[in-house]
């Protein structure tokens, strides 16, 4: 039995090509008709891959044809990659561990692979070979996450800000957030905070219309720009991104607001350039000031840490590849009964 993987990913195909070969409802029948005993399509925003087991060799072109939605002339001729046997296992283990992802160590792909496998198992498209392969892949991913720091730290400015907020306040549900300036980055940061449960959002902008529009968009309330400073006694997180040429907040201005809230920290995220908050504010007790450079530096540090863990992760993967290859050679060397898992299936993921 041949175990193989044919696919396209962000490494070798643009989004248009990936969309074109993303598969369709008839792909399962097409894959079965072209000779796959077992097949699973992993279709995400960054990759389209077919994992299959077949008695006879099925060419890459045949697999690619099964993934195309229309019968019209082929608009793309991308270079599909193809991995067979242990290389196929190695590739899947790297994918589920996040080593092949656009952002090294991201964990979303593991969930997507699990969903794809569950759906294929439910339809009977995944048989003994794919079962062993994917179960092993999930184990490898778990081991890589546990034994290396491949998933450590946030790698974008917004997620770094949110994670720092979590490290200061723990549960973010009761945090009060004031956003000063209705820029694009501040909106992204707010959305990231909302995704972690922040409900009390206040937006203040020089132009009231833009402020109100953002407040409406994030389900917050608009604050008159002249009154934003008064909010500093109440809020937990301040996000500033105005286009002011001079700082809007400095130590002497903020210190009186902190007297009544000495045991509650204040997290200030200054993503404006030039900066809205003078650096000396960070010296105040209980105030944690991060500007765009410091957030970016943490994101880069996390990415560097993740990349440094790749070698350790590869080592874990190679051990499992060897074990899996041995298991396939010894225990699964008999052909799969065609009646056992006769169908193939396709699962499309949203991202």
* Contact status: 176 vs another protein (CB under 8 A): no
Q: Which of 62, 106 has the CB closer to another protein? A: 106
Which tokens is 231 given?
């909010």
Number of helical H runs and strand E runs in the chain:
12, 11
**Cα gap 296→16, rounded to integer Å:** 30
In the complex with another protein, the residue whose CB is nearer, 65 or 166, is: 166
Q: If we measure between CA atoms, which residue out of 341, 346, 350 comes closest to residue 120?
A: 346
Give the integer Cα–Cα distance in Å for 232 and 251.
Answer: 13
**For residues 171 and 245, which CB has a smaller minimum distance to another protein in the complex?**
171
Which tokens belong to 1?
């039995």
Residue 139 CB, shortest distance to another protein, in Å, is 17
199 versus 213: smaller Cβ distance to another protein: 199
Q: Is 232 a catalytic residue?
A: no
- Reported as half-sphere exposure (CB side, CA atoms, 13 A), residue 42 has a value of 28
Per CB under 8 A, does 138 bind another protein? no
Q: Is 105 in the site for another protein (CB under 8 A)?
A: yes
Q: Which stretch binds another protein (CB under 8 A): 31-39, 150-158, 316-324, 329-337?
A: 150-158
Residue from 10, 29, 152, 188 in contact with another protein (CB under 8 A):
152
Residues of this chain, 290-309, that bind another protein according to CB under 8 A: 290, 294, 297-298, 301-302
Cis, bond preceding 274 (omega within 30 deg of 0): yes
- Strand (E) or helix (H) holding 84: strand 81-84
CA R_g for the chain: 26
Q: CB of 137 within 8 A of CB of 93?
A: yes
Nearer to another protein, 40 or 193 (CB): 193
Q: Which stretch binds another protein (CB under 8 A): 69-77, 81-89, 168-176, 211-219?
A: 168-176
Q: Binding to another protein by residue 158, rule CB under 8 A? A: no
Q: Which residues in 230-259 contact another protein (CB under 8 A)?
A: 259
By CB under 8 A, name the one of 131, 166, 188, 221 that touches another protein: 166
Per DSSP, the residues of 223-283 read: E-GGGTGGGGGT-SEEEE----SS-SB-HHHHHHHHGGGTTS-EEEEE--SS-SB-GGGGG
**What whole-number distance in Å separates Cα of residue 265 and Cα of residue 235?**
9
User: Is residue 212 a contact point for another protein (CB under 8 A)?
Assistant: no
Task: Single out the residue of 76, 138, 225, 288 in contact with another protein (rule: CB under 8 A).
Answer: 288
Report the residue number, 262 or 334, with the smaller CB distance to another protein: 262
Q: Is 19 in the site for another protein (CB under 8 A)?
A: no
- Host H or E run for residue 81: strand 81-84
Give the catalytic positions in this structure: 45
Chain positions contacting another protein, by CB under 8 A: 105, 107, 145, 149-155, 159, 163-164, 166-170, 259-260, 262-263, 265, 282, 285-286, 288, 290, 294, 297-298, 301-302
């Amino acid at each position: 039995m041949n175990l193989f993987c044919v696919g396209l990913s962000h490494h070798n195909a643009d989004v248009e090509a990936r969309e074109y070969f993303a598969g369709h409802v008839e792909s399962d029948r097409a894959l079965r008709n072209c000779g796959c005993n077992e097949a699973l399509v992993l279709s995400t925003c960054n990759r389209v891959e077919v994992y299959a087991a077949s008695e006879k060799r099925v060419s890459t072109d045949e697999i690619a044809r099964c993934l195309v939605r229309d019968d019209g002339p082929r608009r793309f001729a991308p270079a599909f990659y193809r991995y067979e046997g242990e290389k196929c296992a190695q590739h899947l283990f790297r994918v589920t561990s996040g080593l092949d992802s656009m952002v090294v160590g991201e964990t979303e792909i593991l969930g997507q692979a699990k969903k794809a496998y569950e759906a294929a198992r439910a339809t009977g498209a995944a048989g003994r070979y794919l079962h062993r392969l994917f179960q092993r892949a999930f184990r490898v991913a778990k081991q890589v996450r546990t034994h290396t720091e491949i998933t450590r730290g946030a790698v974008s400015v917004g997620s770094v800000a949110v994670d720092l907020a979590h490290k200061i306040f723990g549960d973010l549900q009761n945090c009060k957030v004031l956003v000063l300036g209705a820029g694009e980055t501040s909106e992204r940061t707010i959305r990231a905070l909302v995704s972690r449960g922040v409900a009390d959002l206040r937006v203040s902008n020089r132009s009231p219309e833009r402020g109100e529009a953002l407040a409406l968009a994030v389900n917050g309330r608009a604050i008159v720009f002249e009154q934003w400073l008064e909010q500093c006694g109440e809020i937990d997180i301040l996000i500033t991104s105005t286009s002011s040429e001079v700082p809007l907040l400095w130590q002497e201005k903020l210190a009186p607001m902190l007297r009544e809230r000495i045991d509650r920290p204040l997290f200030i995220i200054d993503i404006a350039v030039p900066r809205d908050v003078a650096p000396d504010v960070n010296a105040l007790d209980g105030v944690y000031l991060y500007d765009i450079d410091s957030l970016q530096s943490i994101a880069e540090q996390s990415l560097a840490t993740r990349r440094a863990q790749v070698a350790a992760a590869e080592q874990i993967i190679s051990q499992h590849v060897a074990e899996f290859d041995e298991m396939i050679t010894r225990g699964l060397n008999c052909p799969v009964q065609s009646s056992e898992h006769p169908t193939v299936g396709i699962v499309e993921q949203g991202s």
